């Protein structure tokens, strides 16, 4: 920061002006006294100008600090926004992965259900086939027994017929 002490030039001019006023009053020289007043006023004006210059420099430095703080605040907000966006993107990615896992899980469950249904249908078909085979075997036995009975009945009828004819 800048130095806040008044410049030596302004103070020196004020002192020279005071000295001329005192000497002018002591020697009864109004011109020297007036010149001293003017020189003191010039020193005061120079000191005031330098003081205003220092204050202006301080205000400028304060404005620069405020601007830097504002820039830092804006940058911090930008970084926070970027971080929030990255976090949101990461959360969205996790949600997508969870959704994909759920879909895959449902597909796996459906595939298992389809396989189980196919197994049940295959078991039912095998059972029905076995029952049909047993029914066919039973029907063939019945048909064979009926054929045997029919042959015996035919033989019995032929024997009876032969006996009737022999009588």
79-105 residue pLDDT tens: 999 999 999 999 999 999 999 999 999
Nearest to 14 by CA among 56, 42, 48, 49: 42
Q: What share of the chain is helix, strand, coil (3-state, %, to 5)?
A: 95, 0, 5
pLDDT 10s digits, 26-67: 999 999 889 989 988 888 888 889 999 999 999 999 999 999
* Amino acid 113: pLDDT: 97
Of the chain, the percentage scoring pLDDT greater than 70 comes to 94
Give, as one character, the DSSP assignment of residue 10: H
Which tokens is 131 given?
């029952």
Helices and strands (H and E) in the chain: how many? 2, 0
Contact (Cβ atoms closer than 8 angstroms) between residue 32 and residue 24 = yes
Give CA torsion, residues 135, 141, 144, 149, to 10 deg.
Answer: -110
Q: What pLDDT is recorded for position 9?
A: 63
Q: Is 6 left (phi over 0), alpha (psi -120 to 50) or beta?
A: beta
**CA torsion angle for 144, 148, 151, 156 (degrees, to 10)?**
-160
What are 162's two structure tokens?
């032969």
CA distance 9 to 47: 8
pLDDT value at residue 1:
45
10-14, 57-61, 108-112 — which is least confidently predicted?
10-14
Question: Which is nearest to 19 in space by CA: 3, 4, 35?
Answer: 35
pTM above 0.75, yes or no: no
Q: Give residue 162's pLDDT.
A: 82
* Two tokens, residue 107: 């597909």
């Amino acid at each position: 920061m800048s130095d806040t002490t008044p410049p030596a030039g302004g103070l020196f001019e004020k002192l020279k002006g005071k000295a001329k006023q005192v000497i002018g009053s002591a020697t009864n020289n109004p011109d020297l006294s007036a010149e001293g007043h003017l020189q003191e006023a010039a020193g005061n004006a120079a000191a005031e100008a330098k003081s205003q210059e220092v204050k202006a420099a301080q205000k400028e430095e304060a404005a620069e600090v405020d601007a830097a703080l504002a820039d830092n605040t804006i940058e911090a907000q930008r970084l926070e926004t970027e971080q929030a966006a990255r976090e949101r993107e990461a959360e969205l990615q996790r949600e997508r992965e969870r959704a994909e896992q759920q879909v895959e899980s449902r597909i796996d469950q459906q595939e298992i259900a389809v396989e189980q249904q196919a197994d049940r249908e295959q078991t039912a078909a095998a059972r029905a086939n076995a029952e049909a085979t047993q029914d066919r075997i039973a029907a063939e036995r019945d048909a064979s027994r009926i054929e045997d009975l029919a042959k015996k009945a035919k033989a019995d009828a032929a024997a009876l017929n032969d006996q009737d004819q022999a009588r």
